[in-house]
Chains A and B, each alone.
Chain A
Amino acid sequence: MFADLLLNAIVSGVVLGGFYAAVSVGLAISFGMLDIGNLAHPAFVILGSFCVFVLNQRWGIDPLIGAILITPFFFVLGAGLYGVYHYSFERRGEEGLRGLAFFFGILFITEVALILGFGVDYRFVQAFYIDATLHIGFIDLAWRTLVPCIVAFVMIGVLQVFMAKTYIGRAILAVSQDSLALRLMSINPSRVKLIAFSLSLATAAMAGALLIIIQPVEPSIGRDYIGRVFAIVVLGGMGSFPGMLLAAILLGVAESLTATFYGPSWAPAVSFGILLLTLAFRPAGILGRV
């Protein structure tokens, strides 16, 4: 019985970790590669959830298709946001303190605006795979967690190939390594950063759709994800996709074990505790360069 419970907890933790990776991948780009501490990333994930919810509620569009429909809008939103950020902070060399405060304000505005628009009720979506369960031996897996995990892996795989093979992807990696050198090659680093930041917000829309498939969503649950995504990105070594995936799965398993054996009310402390420990003892991450 104990082994049963343990195995189920580990498997669902791995699946949960896949989803966490989808939420964190945008931050791995913006914070890990571009050094933009986008605290509002989880808020945009929730915004994505609500957009998908509206599409699903109004026209019965499947959440995954809805996510693909809204990503262009998030891309444009990201471009606008980066424009403001660049113009007001990066250009003046003040991105550290004021930039963080800026994103904190954006986080707060998004959350309160969603509360004013939708109230604090939990919202959920309808899709054919949401109520089904997969049984393999004595492991039970709900499709509502498995589908997001698969989509997350596909998305991260595509991004990895994009970064490694395409011109723009390589330019983004180059910015993360040395943006001054890019200027010497007569490439404008802020143009590259603009594309990368927009891309990171587009992944937030996708992650939002996955989130609302997994669980009902309410505007303020984004806060729980601030700790998770930053823990994953820092633990994963700031901007390395394989490291981030590993960190996400580790966190998913740790949370799932805690929830199974001590109760779900302790789960938030796990991610933030891991984050604090990482910052204190291994700030370069598990796979990271020092």
Chain B
Amino acid sequence: MKNSTFCLVTAIVVIVFFGAAMLAVTNDYFFFAGYVVLQYIVLATAWNILGGYTGYINFGTAGFFAIGAYAAVVLHKLWGPPIPVLILVGGVLSGLVGLGMGMLTLRLRGVFFAIGTLALAIVVQTFVTNWDFVGGSRGVYIIRPATAPLLGNYIHYLFLVMLVLAGFSIALARCIEHSTLGFGLAAVRDDELAAEAAGVPTLKLKLISTALSGALMGMAGAPLPYYVTYLDPTSGFNLAYAVNSIAMPLIGGMTSWVGPLLGAIFLGTIQQTATVTISSSLNLLIVGVLLVLAVVIAPDGIIGLWRPRRRRAQEPL
């Protein structure tokens, strides 16, 4: 399938899905829960653009996500633009942070990049905690308008926004996969030294994918203040975002856009159900255990299960 055809199909799926949800579902809670699952689809896909395609682990999802969310808070306090504008600004800001982060640490081995991203999330969190304009550690309340544009009902509107964003990120991921950029990234993942020697501009490609991945995470975070209506640093920078966005692609499979989508739907639904039926701290335990089991037992994720397992080069002993 050509990339343009794929984008068209994604758009149709998004429209049909939304139409069906509006017609079939009467309970608003479905939209509340669905928003979270969709948000995880965006985060997992975004993470996979760097982590899955190049093999560089980003532990700072929460940081990028919260940069988007807090950019939205600042804009909301200053002038209150519509949500698409917030998403755009949040995306650009997070993308720039990702680019800067990449410039500092992508020259080093992958493990240093991973630790650096973890550090970034905490540095940003400390700044936000000490910044009174966005509420500091006390948090901030966002009063959303009584009616939403287009649909009237605010939660329907947020659901639609996130659904479009999820469609956009999947289309983007698939377009990257089937482009020169994607092939270059795959070469970096398989053997960075060989790729560099063959003339692939590895650093440039890694920077592009870090920026894109960061931007998508920021875009996913921008509508968050309107969804939760009360945002504080501990929840905005919650480590659960980082764990989930790593666990979902790993469990689903990292080499194509299908993996994070499957992983996010699977884990996201389990968690939404477990939060309601069992308890919210136990569902984090489930994610952690599934993550560890997945990396140990099924290294190629769910999609690896029904594909012949590729032969691994045994290390000479």
Interface set of A (CB-CB < 8 Å, partner B): 37, 39, 84, 88-89, 91-94, 96-98, 100-102, 104-106, 108-109, 112-113, 115-116, 183, 223-224, 226-227, 230-231, 234, 263, 265-266, 268-269, 272-273, 275-276, 279-280, 283
Contact = CB atoms under 8 A, between A and B. Distances in A.
B289 interface: yes
B129 interface: yes
B4 interface: no
Contacts of A283: 108, 112
B291 A96 contact: no
Contacts of B51: 97
Contact of B116 (A113, A116, A276): A276
A236 to B, nearest CB: 14
Interface string B268-298: 0000000000000110110111011001100
A174 B289 CA distance: 35
A37 B114 CA distance: 10
A97 B115 contact: no
Interface string B106-147: 001011101110111011011101100000010000000000
Contact of B239 (A102, A108, A266): A108
Given A98-B295, A104-B246, A227-B122, A112 B288 contact: yes
Contacts of A105: 243, 247, 288-289, 291-292, 295
A276 B119 contact: yes
B257 interface: no
B52 to A, nearest CB: 10
A275 B239 contact: no
A67 B125 CA distance: 33
A268 B122 contact: yes
A45 B281 CA distance: 21
19 contacts: A97-B110, A101-B246, A101-B291, A102-B295, A105-B243, A105-B288, A105-B289, A106-B288, A108-B284, A227-B122, A231-B119, A266-B126, A268-B123, A268-B125, A279-B104, A279-B105, A279-B112, A280-B104, A280-B105
Interface in B171-197: none
A109 B108 CA distance: 29
B55 interface: yes
Contact of B118 (A92, A115, A227): A227
6 A-B pairs with least C-beta separation: A269-B126, A272-B119, A105-B291, A108-B288, A105-B292, A280-B104
A265 B281 contact: no
Interface string B240-276: 0011001100100000000000000000000000000
B188 to A, nearest CB: 12
B257 to A, nearest CB: 18
Contacts of B59: 39, 104
A106 B288 CA distance: 7
Given A88-B296, A96-B55, A226 B118 contact: yes
A223, A224, A230: which has the most chain B beta carbons within 10 Å? A230
B315 to A, nearest CB: 5
Contacts of A266: 126, 130
User: Mostly helix, strand, loop or mixed at chain B's interface?
Assistant: helix
A37 B108 CA distance: 15
B114 A272 contact: no
B163 to A, nearest CB: 28
A115 B281 contact: yes
Nearest to B110: A96
Contacts of A279: 104-105, 108, 112, 115-116
Given A39-B59, A89-B295, A108-B288, 13 more contacts: A97-B57, A98-B250, A100-B57, A101-B295, A105-B295, A108-B239, A108-B243, A112-B281, A115-B281, A230-B119, A234-B112, A265-B137, A279-B104
Contacts of B130: 263, 265-266
B34 interface: no
Nearest to B103: A280
A113 B116 CA distance: 26
A275 B284 CA distance: 28
B2 interface: no
B55 A97 contact: yes
A113 B111 contact: no
B78 interface: no
B307 interface: no
A105 B285 CA distance: 9
B122 A269 contact: yes
Contacts of B246: 101, 104
A105 B286 CA distance: 10
Contacts of B118: 39, 226-227, 230
B292 A102 contact: yes
B238 to A, nearest CB: 11
Q: By CB atoms of chain B within 10 A, which of A100, A108, A263 has the most? A: A108
B236 to A, nearest CB: 15
A28 to B, nearest CB: 14
B313 to A, nearest CB: 7
Contacts of A272: 119-120, 122-123, 126
Contacts of A116: 281-282, 285
A264 to B, nearest CB: 11
Contact of A268 (B111, B112, B126, B242): B126
Contact of B285 (A100, A112, A265): A112
A19 to B, nearest CB: 20
B299 interface: yes
A221 B123 CA distance: 16
A104 B111 contact: no
